[in-house]
Amino acid sequence: MRDADTVLANVRRGMLPAHIYNDDEVFAAERERLFTRAWVFVAHESEIPQVGDYVVRKVMDNSFIISRDQSGEIHAMFNMCLHRGMQVCRAEQGNASHFRCPYHGWSYRNDGQLAGLPFHKEAYGGEEGFARKQQRLIPAPNVDTYNGLIFVSLDPDAPSLPDYLGDFAFYLDYYTKQSPSGVEVLGPQRWRIKANWKIGAENFAGDMYHTPHTHTSVVEIGLFREPKAAKRKEGCTYWAGRGGGTTYKLPPGTLEERLRYVGYPDEMIERMKEQWSQDQLDVIGRDGFMVSAASVFPNLSLVHNWPKVAEGGDADDDAVLPFISLRQWQPIGPGETEVLSWFVVDKEAPEEFKKLSYKAYVMCFGSSGMFEQDDVENWVSLTTTAGGTMARDLLLHGRMGLLEDDSPVVEPLKPDQFAGPGEARVGYAEHNQRALMNEWADHLDGGVRA
């Protein structure tokens, strides 16, 4: 990285050195300093509902088996054999009571404990010479869940997950706790894009500004009820704890009318009313904002939207239906990211709703999604250009919403205008992207974890 102090100082004042989006040294610093510390999303509990279920996921380049053991407890185990380092589990998901290493055949229980090794007696002197009991796949230093979302931190001294998420948990509930049963997820679809991982995280955190331009065609073909993508500027962005997101402004009406407007059936609305706090309900029913895209630092994003899934008039609420997607920007290299995209739906939602919501998701996001394709075209191009030598001298402008003297263009909403925690503002701004990149700078500044 060219003079790390200058790079971080520029990021903190909202001027982004272009090369941070495609630079080997920056990527190495992220690998050593950021992904060894932050809480990183790895899976949702509904992906491993039964005893023995597992998925294999990564935190940066570290592979983990996320398993549910015979007693139902969840584990995240470093997927590297204690013998000579082979990857113990090579399937992406499945159900197993044991994992057997393909190299020499050591086998481990699904809680990580070494169970057996070939020729234990002849080669190791049996239990006396080499006790299996003391051997287990290395557990991730920290594992915790929120609404079934499983997070891992490689830092033994990490703050607790609730402290890390902070007030962003308030907003996570809209996506992942619409009823007492929570959500189930489908996926992930996985694909690789030649783009830096930070671009997607920043975009989902707060980029309402790109919607009218990048996604014009999606609106023009009538996928949305609103005739103008510029409607986005009436929404607000919010930042709380270690995450932030965007909202749409809803038309006047009661809580129920507004939830119906985005396509929720009455039985789901009744459960939301039971499930969410008065403040959570007030953001929608009193203040008229509905969450859309969001990101949690570093690389988890969410999206909630309500496209037209059926032909209908402009005012026809029956024509739109909401979907939720969860996605992870899994870094592969400075110029490459693996995208993991899940469809998310309330477990208690009616079957017909689940079916149509899935249809809405595949139209908009995922490998077939129209938004996805619009976005990625920009991000790949940006990343390619950021890798060139000229980009090293360019500071990108990330100060939208700030005047020259750092005072805000628009003041934050007051508690009687926005019931949610954190700071929310109406209109286009880059406060959220700056908040995300400030976290990034703080992590890179923190030194290499011993």
By CB under 6 A, tell whether 83 contacts ligand FES.
yes
Q: With contact defined as beta carbons under 8 Å apart, do 283 and 420 qualify?
A: yes
Q: How far is the CB of 82 from ligand FES (least distance, A)?
A: 7
81 binds ligand FES (CB under 6 A): yes
Per CB under 6 A, does 80 bind ligand FES? no
Among 144, 375, 423, 430, binds Fe ion (CB under 5 A): 375
Among Fe ion, ligand FES, none, partner that 349 touches (CB below 5 to 8 angstroms by kind): none
- List all residues 6 or more positions away from 160 whose beta carbon is below 8 Å from its beta carbon: 144
The binder of 376, among ligand FES, Fe ion, none, by C-beta within 5 to 8 A per type, is none
Task: Work out the angle between the directed axes of helices 197-206 and 370-386 (0-180°, nearest 10).
Answer: 130
Residue 40 or 89 with smaller CB distance to ligand FES: 89
Q: What share of the chain is helix, strand, coil (3-state, %, to 5)?
A: 35, 25, 40
CB of 83 to ligand FES, least distance (A): 3
Written as six digits, the tokens of 122 are: 């002849």
Nearer Cβ to Fe ion, position 26 or 376? 376
Cα–Cα distance between 344 and 179 in angstroms, integer?
Answer: 13
Give the CA dihedral 111, 114, 115, 120, nearest 10 degrees: 180
Contacts of 169 (CB under 8 A, 6+ apart): 146, 162, 241
DSSP 3-state of 337: strand
Tokens of 257: 């009318």
Nearer to ligand FES, 84 or 392 (CB): 84
Of the candidate residues 101, 320, 345, 429, the single one contacting ligand FES (CB under 6 A): 101
Distances in Å between the alpha carbon of 310 and those of 306, 313, 323, 359? 12, 10, 14, 10
Considering the rule CB under 6 A, would residue 104 count as an interface residue with ligand FES? yes
Q: Which stretch binds ligand FES (CB under 6 A): 78-86, 252-260, 293-301, 308-316?
A: 78-86
- Calpha distance 360→322 (Å, rounded): 7
Indicate whether 386 belongs to the interface with ligand FES (CB under 6 A).
Answer: no
Please choose which of ligand FES, Fe ion, none residue 375 contacts, taking the beta carbon within 5 to 8 angstroms, the exact cut-off set by kind.
Fe ion
If contact means CB under 5 to 8 A according to the sort of partner, which of Fe ion, ligand FES, none does residue 104 touch?
ligand FES
Q: Does 84 bind ligand FES (CB under 6 A)?
A: yes
Residues found near ligand FES in the complex (CB under 6 A): 81, 83-86, 101, 103-106
Residues found near Fe ion in the complex (CB under 5 A): 375
